[in-house]
Amino acid sequence: MSTIDTAAPTAPRGAQAHDPVTLEVIRMRLDAIVDEMAIAMMRSSGSPVITESGDFNTALFDAEGRIYAYSNYVQFHIGSASVALRGLLDAVPLEEMRPGDAFISNDSHTAGSTHPPDVSVISPIFHDGRVVGFAQSQAHLLDIGGMNPGGFAPSAVDCFAEALRMPPGVKCYDAGEPVESVRRMIVNNVRLPVPFWNDVRSLVASNNTGARRLAATIDEFGADTFARYAELALEAARQVVAERIGRLPDGVYEASEWQEGDGKVADLLEIHCRMTVDGERLTFDFSGSSPQVAGFVNCSYGALVGSVASGMNPVLAWDLPFNQGVLGPVEILAAEASIVNPDVPAPASNGHLTVGGRVTRLVTLLLNRVVERSDDPELRGRAQGIWADSWTGGISAGTRTDDGEYFVLFNMDGGLMGAGAQATGDGLDGSGMTTQISNMVPDVEMNELMYPVLYLWKRVDAATGGPGAQRGGLGVDYAWTLRRCDEVLHTVFCPCAQVPAGGYGGAYPGGGGEQSILREVDVDGAFARGEAADPERLAPRETELLELVQQGLTIRAGDVFRQRIAGGGGYGDPLLRDPAAVAADVRDGYVTAAAAEAAYGVALDGEGAVDQAGTERLRARARAERLGREPAAVAIRSLAELRRGEQGAGSLCQRGGDGWECRVCGTGLGAGEEWAEGAVLRRTRAAERLGELGVRVRPNDAVRLDEHLCPGCGTALDVRVTVERAA
Amino acid sequence: MRIKVGVDVGGTFTDTVVSAGSELIRAKAYSTKDVTSGILAVLGRAREQLELDEATFFGSIEKFVLGNTIVTNVIDELRFPSVGLLTTAGFKDTLRIARSNRGPSRDAHANSAPPEIVDRRRIAEVAERVDVEGVVLRELDREQARAAIAGLLDQGVEAIAICFLWSFKNPANEQAAAALVRELAPDLPVTLSSELAPVYREYERMVTTVLDAACKPVVAEHFAQLDAALRERGLRSGLKLMQVDGGFLSVDEAGKTPIKMFNSGPVGGVEGARRLGDQLGLRRVVTADMGGTSFDAAIISDGAYRVLPRAEMGQFPTALTAVDISSIGAGGGSIAWIDSRGLMRVGPTSAGSVPGPACYARGGEEPTVTDATVAMGLIDPGYFLGGTIALDRDRARAAIERVATPLRYDVDEAAAGIYRLTTVQMANAIRALTVNRGHDPREFTMVSFGGACGLFAAEIARECDVARLVVPAAASVFSAFGLLHSDSIFTAVQTTPWSFAQSAEELERAFAALEARVQEWFGADQIAPDARELVREADMKFAGQVFEVTSQLPATAFTDDLKAAVRERFVADYEAEFGEGTAWTEAEVLVTNTRVKGIGRFGAGDPAPVKLLLDDDGGQRRREIVEPMTGRRREVEVHRGLPLGERRAGPCIVEEPDTNLYVPDGAAIERDAQANYIIDLPARG
């Protein structure tokens, strides 16, 4: 096992023969090029998915398919683009490629695509008549054909129904000219042919920028020097990640996450991962996960790799310019024909936002368990509450009554889920998934201008923040009703409702998502009464709570569609949260007064200020309630003491001379292998128990909450969401 | 004598350029906290050079344009009086959700909620609603609003911002709320989103509205004091304030929308570069302005800079239209450090003005970019600002040592490394501006200004393939130079969704209403009738797109027979922006915003030549320097100024009391008849 390197950073190791400034100059240039590609695409594209939501990526690869540089947008495609490129290298020999060629792909099975609407274009880059690398640009296009507008197909039973499938090696530009036969074939199969091909042009323009600039860069430095330094840049990043892994204790860590059905069956589907730390190597083995299913949640291997990278980057590579070196010490294994590596004909049009998100959550959870045992405080500081990491979808299609235009509203507001709490502070509200770097959602006025909807509210949802010493980020709650449109056909998916995002270090999970239709509301009357923004006072004929995946719904004028989006897990036992911060949260509407009492044990006076004595009583009572008896320990350390000068309190258990002990009160937890053996386990149904704490979770009897409590003081040492496997 | 004055109040220095008869005078003084005394001090220095008494000097001023950092500082530091905000019921969290303010970092510790610009307790929801067509679905609940406003006043707010959904389509509810505020607190500053920024996107509009309200009390205080001090000394012409869109307004008019004074100093610099480009006949100009903490760049094409909607201010996107200036966090104060890979990085952390670079000997110990230039001998420590501030080269070298050791470099190599990384960062920023707009950098001339830029500009230009560099005579006070020569501009804008299938009349009505507002301003700001000019613009896009491109329309009434020409103009502008063949020729063209600019022309005539500050004793100076891009020691010639018309080959250094220029090997420097330095650069490779 490695020990901590306490020496000051030194020059790149084993690197006397090169100039560190030139190395950084070349790295900066490569990063500047992928940024320039991104700007070129954003500014020439018309798709709101690209320009308003940043749902795309740009990258440069070397001739072998290793990533040189990757822009700060969606991280999924670290995996999907790599698979697409390897597929291209297998399909088309380098000697058949010419400058100005571009290859288009979108197939999840053969080209690694996260899902079919994520279309990738790859262009070879030439220098001195030789392929020296590839420019790759990918974006979520508005439609890709198949049975459903927008490319999400809950009822598809196979990938053939989902979309037009383009494998690696389909040449869409030949020596700079569009390949007409391919263009005709593609645009004949999509619902919005003109915008589709315009976006392909944007992707090609982005690649052309990348190809031109990389070739000029190689000219400037000379081919040999450039190749050597590009290799060194990969090695410098690899070394940092390898050394960080080396500072983690060796061992095997296992856990599961659960996909909430596949849209056809409601079963919880297991995603299992066995993570092995071995010296400076890290392996994520997903064998043991559910076989592939008939619904649209199968996660392509490309999306799997991207989901793992998305979870790993903030813990092991948060400060590194991303290149293939970051993934150098990492191995990702998945059984074929499984839910995380499906084969044809498995449908996969929502695998990345569902199972993919769960994979990121699982990686976050496993890394939490290992970094907290590291001797390196910087790595310990990277443990975090789990992010909601699920994307809540509401897709509506209909015809406007004012101008008769057909429209498809793919509402990007679904990206407003909460982040996990961090050692440094509360989780970010409406953050997007971990993978969604640079996430953006549209303004209300933007959506109302483009689509015939009228929003009644759009606000953060206090029932979603995971209670903790640092609170989990909140999801958003919004509602709209139709205007200038009689009815829409509506599809929903809500991937995180029953199995919520867990907390870290004794914190509780965040709340789940929920979608409903409030039927036949007198909207004008509600406005007249001044109650249109109050969900409790809309007086619908009935409220239809929607299934987790549902299509073929009809929303009519007068109905109100409401979407509530999941929140992130907390960090640290909420009874340790500064009562003043809880009072501020209540004042600001981020926590309800009831939850302040139930989850945080904080009593407020009539003015909303902290009632110190009342808070002490409530907190003592909460500890007793958790244990089912009066706690023995009386001396409780404060959060500040527990932080020990670090950013967060970290794990509340430590190993002393006599075995494990609770850091909050000093009570021993036994000398076993795991501290949990000496803790009190309180097992409840998750929805019920979290409901008591003001956190909304959709009931499912198989989903449990395991509170591992200190027998001495009742502090929550770790709170886990677990699932009882069907017998 | 007729005197014109441009004054730029910066963070450290207050600069002025004064045109008096056939002369241009420049002066510098330290900025002061109260702003006014710094301005009076710098004007005193200019007056001494002109040998005029106070009454004559101030009495002869016929144009006085001020750029200032008051608003910029308020927004960058987020230090302002407490503001109350009224919003549509259901949308109290607009500023919190912030369109998901995730940011581009992979570091979850760096993803934090946007800074609160209004305390949550001071955001009040009121029942009201207007829809996308401007139909009032719910009139303002006056009783509820009155109670909400009273509650805000009880909390001691010093200004109120009102931002309702779609208020710019129908301002009735916002106006009713404003009337209630005026009734309850007649003197309290109020900003209505429908007046300040009548364009769609409520988050950006709300940010803009709140920040504007927040600036009002601050600005009112500052300018009342300054105006009184100037009048007391005999100034008769009104003080004018530069705006973020490139023109100035009277104090009265500017005070109505103080947020538009954001960044007015740097805008002055871009305006100066535009004037200079016109004078030198340059078709494409890229500006490079390096200060202590940031590097700003802008593009001027065919005599016009780009004015961009949805400008960013500090860390916020806004609903304002502003001169497009790209800014990166790298400047003289940027600190060099070693990252986890063991490689050196420069910035974005800055030593700021306190403690400042190590060579200032004011307690700074971290190695900064300025320390690198001192350590390399590019700056003579005894001749910084003409010798007025002594620099400590030993401290600079000691600071550089900190990064040199882990890199196994000597101090010379490490200093050159800092120089090179800085240069590359700035060149990358310029490339992003030029290449991405479809331009070849080789078509551009770089105009470099700002105290620190001259030592880097030539290498930045070379790095991004720009072949010619101009360092203006007034480079050290160039923003003030631009302010002095600027015009007055008033912009009226309105979101007006319109397609070419609709009648021209509908669009004309919008333009006519905007023009009426501009005419009103012409009168209020007393723009002379022969100086008045009207420009009509529309932000257009192809149906299905999100971003608009701005095109000019004929200044005449818009009629159906003009449609074809306008459409063609838009397609041409679009392709100029994104490249030939990129237009969505199959898609319909839509208008989103209409805009009328009123221009009051003030800056006629070529700038007068700048007074030379020559200090050459005729003796040859030579100095050993570390050559920046190679890290090798080398002796070069040092010129103290250069006479008009003279040319020198690089490598050399040209020093003036307020300017330092480095001319690399292979390049040549020449001084033109207007005292500008022109540097020709050899092609690379």
Task: Concatenate the DSSP letters of all residues of B293-362 into one string.
Answer: S-EEEEEEETTEE-EESS-EETTEE-S--EE--EEES-STTEEEEE-TTS-EEEEEEE-TTTT--GGGTS
Question: Which two tokens mark B629?
Answer: 């891009």
Question: Which two tokens mark B189?
Answer: 């500053």
Q: What per-residue confidence (pLDDT) applies to A586?
A: 97
Mean pLDDT (chain A) is 94
Q: What per-residue confidence (pLDDT) applies to B615?
A: 54
Neighbouring-strand partners of residue B129: B138
Which of B100, B107, B497 faces A319 most closely, judged by CB atoms?
B107
- The owner of tokens 């390049």 is B667
Find the residue in A nearest to B121 (Cα): A588
Structure confidence by residue, pLDDT tens digits, B393-416:
999 999 999 999 999 999 999 999
A314 contact residues in B (CB cutoff 8 A): 106-108
Per-residue buried b or exposed e for B273-295, using 16+ beta carbons within 10 Å of the residue's own CB: bbbbbeebebebbbbbbbbbbbb
A72 contact residues in B (CB cutoff 8 A): 104-106
Strand, helix or coil for residue B651 = coil
A236–B202 CB contact, under 8 Å: no
B109–A424 CB contact, under 8 Å: yes
Instruction: Please say if the pLDDT value at position A52 is more than 80.
Output: no
Give residues with Cβ within 8 angstroms of B681, minimum separation 6: B458, B461, B462, B466, B467, B468, B469, B664, B666, B667
Instruction: Please say if the pLDDT value at position A3 is more than 70.
Output: no
- CA-CA distance, B295 to B306, in Å (whole number)? 18
CA distance B201 to chain A (A): 5
B94–A422 CB contact, under 8 Å: no
Structure confidence by residue, pLDDT tens digits, A457-509:
999 999 999 999 999 999 999 999 999 999 999 999 999 999 999 999 999 99
Phi, psi of A371 (to 5 degrees): -70, -30
Task: Please give the helix or strand (H or E) that residue A627 lies within, else none.
Answer: helix A612-627
- SS3 for A479-523, per residue? EEEECCEEEEEEEEECCCCCCCCCCECCCCCCCCCEEEEEECCCH
Report residue B579's pLDDT band, with 50, 70 and 90 as the boundaries. Answer: low
In 3D space, the residue among B79, B115, B114, B120 whose CA is nearest the CA of residue B100 turns out to be B114
CA distance A297 to chain B (A): 26
Instruction: Please say if the pLDDT value at position A702 is more than 70.
Output: yes
Where do the domains of chain A lie?
A: 20-238
DSSP A353: I
B281: left (phi over 0), alpha (psi -120 to 50) or beta: left
DSSP B106: S
Neighbouring-strand partners of residue B9: B14
Lowest mean pLDDT: which of A142-156, A280-294, B497-511, B572-586? B572-586
CA distance A637 to chain B (A): 25
Contact call for residues A497 and A588 (beta carbons, < 8 A) = no
Pick the CATH number of B3-74+220-261 from 3.30.450.20, 3.30.420.40, 2.40.340.10, 1.50.10.100: 3.30.420.40
B131 contact residues in A (CB cutoff 8 A): 448, 454, 483
Instruction: Please say if the pLDDT value at position A608 is more than 90.
Output: yes
Architecture of domain B78-216: 3-Layer(aba) Sandwich (3.40)
A25–B94 CB contact, under 8 Å: no
CA distance A204 to chain B (A): 11
A419–B579 CB contact, under 8 Å: no
Instruction: Please say if the pLDDT value at position A6 is more than 70.
Output: no
Instruction: Please say if the pLDDT value at position A15 is more than 70.
Output: no
Q: What per-residue confidence (pLDDT) applies to B603?
A: 66
**If you count residue pairs, one on A and one on B, with CB atoms under 8 Å apart, how many are there?**
251
Where do the domains of chain B lie?
A: 3-74+220-261, 78-216, 334-422, 492-599
Q: What per-residue confidence (pLDDT) applies to A50?
A: 81
Phi, psi of A466 (to 5 degrees): -65, 125
Residues B98-105: what's their mean pLDDT?
A: 88
Q: What per-residue confidence (pLDDT) applies to B578?
A: 67
Q: Is A17 on the interface with B (CB under 8 A)?
A: no
Which of A21, A322, A454 faces B421 most closely, judged by CB atoms?
A21
Give residues with Cβ within 8 angstroms of B680, minimum separation 6: B467, B468, B667, B668, B670
Task: Concatenate the DSSP letters of all residues of B374-430 into one string.
Answer: HHTTSS-TTSGGGGTS---HHHHHHHHHHHHHHHT--HHHHHHHHHHHHHHHHHHHH
Q: How far from chain centre, in Å, is Cα B673? A: 29
Which of B90, B104, B201 faces A456 most closely, judged by CB atoms?
B90
Cis peptide before B682 (omega within 30 of 0): no
Q: Is A446 on the interface with B (CB under 8 A)?
A: yes
Which of A9, A75, A441 faces B99 most closely, judged by CB atoms?
A441
Instruction: Please say if the pLDDT value at position B608 is more than 70.
Output: no
Q: Which amino acid is at B23?
A: E
CA distance B462 to chain A (A): 12
A423–B200 CB contact, under 8 Å: no
Q: What per-residue confidence (pLDDT) applies to B586?
A: 77
Q: What per-residue confidence (pLDDT) applies to B353?
A: 73
- CA-CA distance, A21 to B671, in Å (whole number)? 34
Instruction: Please say if the pLDDT value at position A4 is more than 90.
Output: no
DSSP A189: T
Mean pLDDT (chain B) is 90
Structure confidence by residue, pLDDT tens digits, A522-544:
999 999 999 999 999 999 999 99
CA distance A658 to chain B (A): 35
Residues A341-359: what's their mean pLDDT?
A: 97
B103–A438 CB contact, under 8 Å: yes
Q: Which amino acid is at A399?
A: T
Q: Is A236 on the interface with B (CB under 8 A)?
A: yes
Structure confidence by residue, pLDDT tens digits, A434-469:
999 988 899 999 999 989 999 999 999 999 999 999
Q: What per-residue confidence (pLDDT) applies to B640?
A: 87
Q: What per-residue confidence (pLDDT) applies to A627?
A: 96
DSSP B452: T
Which of A20, A219, A483 faces B343 most closely, judged by CB atoms?
A20
Q: Is A314 on the interface with B (CB under 8 A)?
A: yes
Give residues with Cβ within 8 angstroms of B529, minimum separation 6: none
Q: Is A483 on the interface with B (CB under 8 A)?
A: yes
A21–B201 CB contact, under 8 Å: no
Q: What percent of chain B has pLDDT over 70?
A: 95
A440–B201 CB contact, under 8 Å: no
Question: Which two tokens mark B5?
Answer: 């004055």
Mutation for testing the B interface, residue in A143, A443, A460 having most B CBs under 10 Å: A443
Which of B90, B106, B542 faces A533 most closely, judged by CB atoms?
B90
Mutation for testing the B interface, residue in A4, A13, A19, A24 having most B CBs under 10 Å: A24
Structure confidence by residue, pLDDT tens digits, A109-144:
999 999 999 999 999 999 999 999 999 999 999 889
Q: What per-residue confidence (pLDDT) applies to A228?
A: 96
- CA-CA distance, A439 to A53, in Å (whole number)? 6
CA distance A28 to chain B (A): 8
B409 contact residues in A (CB cutoff 8 A): 20
Contact call for residues A168 and A121 (beta carbons, < 8 A) = no
User: Rounded to whole angstroms, what are the CA distances from B155 to A670, B54, B82, B151?
Assistant: 55, 46, 9, 6
Cβ count near A296 (within 10 Å) = 29
**Rounded to 5 degrees, what angle do the CA atoms B292, B295, B298 make?**
145
Instruction: Please say if the pLDDT value at position A11 is more than 70.
Output: no
Residues A316-336: what's their mean pLDDT?
A: 96
Q: What per-residue confidence (pLDDT) applies to A630?
A: 94
DSSP B627: -
Q: What per-residue confidence (pLDDT) applies to B113?
A: 77
A9–B406 CB contact, under 8 Å: yes
Strands (E), A209-293: 251-260, 268-278, 281-285
A443–B109 CB contact, under 8 Å: no
ipTM: 0.94
Find the residue in B nearest to A219 (Cα): B685
CA distance B295 to chain A (A): 16
Instruction: Please say if the pLDDT value at position B476 is more than 90.
Output: no
Q: What per-residue confidence (pLDDT) applies to B611?
A: 66
In 3D space, the residue among B634, B215, B191, B680 whose CA is nearest the CA of residue B458 turns out to be B680
Which of A209, A220, A429 faces B684 most closely, judged by CB atoms?
A220
A41: left (phi over 0), alpha (psi -120 to 50) or beta: alpha
The counts of H helices and E strands in chain A are: 19, 26
User: Rounded to whole angstroms, what are the CA distances from B88 to A172, A532, A614, B364?
Assistant: 49, 11, 37, 49
Find the residue in A nearest to B407 (Cα): A11
Residue that wins the pLDDT comparison between B531 and B608: B531
User: Rounded to whole angstroms, what are the CA distances from B287 to A143, A668, A672, B455, B676?
Assistant: 42, 67, 68, 15, 15
A425–B112 CB contact, under 8 Å: yes
In 3D space, the residue among A225, A564, A198 whose CA is nearest the CA of residue A390 turns out to be A564
CA distance A11 to chain B (A): 5
A177 contact residues in B (CB cutoff 8 A): none
Which of A20, A431, A533 faces B111 most closely, judged by CB atoms?
A431
B417 contact residues in A (CB cutoff 8 A): 20-21
